[in-house]
């Protein structure tokens, strides 16, 4: 499903609010940020949900948008502002990269179950030999459900490829630096103007 302009407004506003507060974002609270009526906002949020690009709870609060989440998948970012969850490892790298933040990405290798920690300085990963497995993203897939579960950090390329073969997941292995660069470009428009951007 193509993301229309209003869906993108809702996605961006919800991302910013969840990043800032770490709490679910009430669709009604977006009216001020977007200047759009509640019924239209809710319809746009439901389109995002149907497209697999957001999550919503029973109270019609957005609980995940543009990679940031209030529920604990196995990926977490930590900065001086606190910790937040992300839907996949690529989200975590991209968000910290776009923020230009000092902090850490914490994840878990699905191959061994071992925890992987990656330190960030100024939005760049340092001192880790871990790699990112980027699964292929089929056209029309619902990213939250059909792509994110397969995008993970691994101890090394051999572990990533062994897991991918065992689970029949097509994709490629990239370095943390390359994965961060790709993600930074994608998330930079989403963090533009956010008070944490460039604050270390």
2-57 residue pLDDT tens:
789 999 999 999 999 999 999 999 998 888 778 889 899 999 999 999 999 999 99
| Residue 92 contacts residue 75 (beta carbons within 8 Å) | yes
Distance, CA of 46 to CA of 54 (rounded, Å): 8
Q: Taking all residues of the chain, what is their mean pLDDT, rounded to a whole number?
A: 94
Q: 45: part of which helix (H) or strand (E)?
A: helix 38-50
| Residue 45 contacts residue 54 (beta carbons within 8 Å) | yes
The set of residues, in sequence order, having a beta carbon less than 8 Å from that of 189 and lying 6+ positions away, is: 12
- pTM check: above 0.75: yes
User: Quick one: 35 exposed, middle or buried, by C-beta within 10 A (0-12, 13-18, 19+)?
Assistant: exposed
Q: Provide CATH code, domain 75-191.
A: 3.30.450.410
**Domain limits of the chain?**
5-67, 75-191
Topology given in CATH for the domain delimited by 5-67: Arc Repressor Mutant, subunit A (1.10.10)
| Structural Rg of the chain based on CA atoms | 16
89-116 residue pLDDT tens:
999 999 999 999 999 999 999 999 999 9
């Amino acid at each position: 499903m193509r993301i229309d302009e209003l869906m993108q407004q809702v996605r961006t506003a919800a991302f910013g609010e969840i990043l800032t507060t770490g709490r679910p974002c009430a669709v009604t609270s977006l009216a001020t940020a977007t200047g759009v009526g509640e019924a239209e906002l809710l319809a746009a949020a439901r389109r995002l949900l149907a497209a697999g690009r957001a999550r919503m709870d029973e109270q019609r609060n957005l609980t995940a948008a543009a990679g940031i989440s209030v529920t604990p998948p196995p990926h977490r970012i930590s900065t001086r502002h606190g910790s937040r969850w992300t839907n996949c490892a690529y989200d975590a790298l991209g968000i910290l990269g776009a923020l230009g933040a000092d902090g850490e990405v914490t994840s878990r290798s699905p191959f061994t179950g071992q925890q992987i920690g990656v330190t960030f300085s100024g939005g760049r990963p340092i001192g880790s030999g871990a790699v990112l497995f980027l699964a292929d993203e089929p056209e029309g897939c619902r990213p939250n459900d059909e792509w994110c579960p397969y995008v993970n950090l691994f101890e090394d390329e051999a572990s990533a490829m062994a897991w991918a073969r065992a689970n029949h997941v097509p994709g490629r292995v990239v370095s943390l630096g390359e994965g961060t660069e790709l993600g930074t470009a994608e998330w930079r428009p989403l963090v533009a103007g956010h008070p944490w951007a460039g604050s270390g």
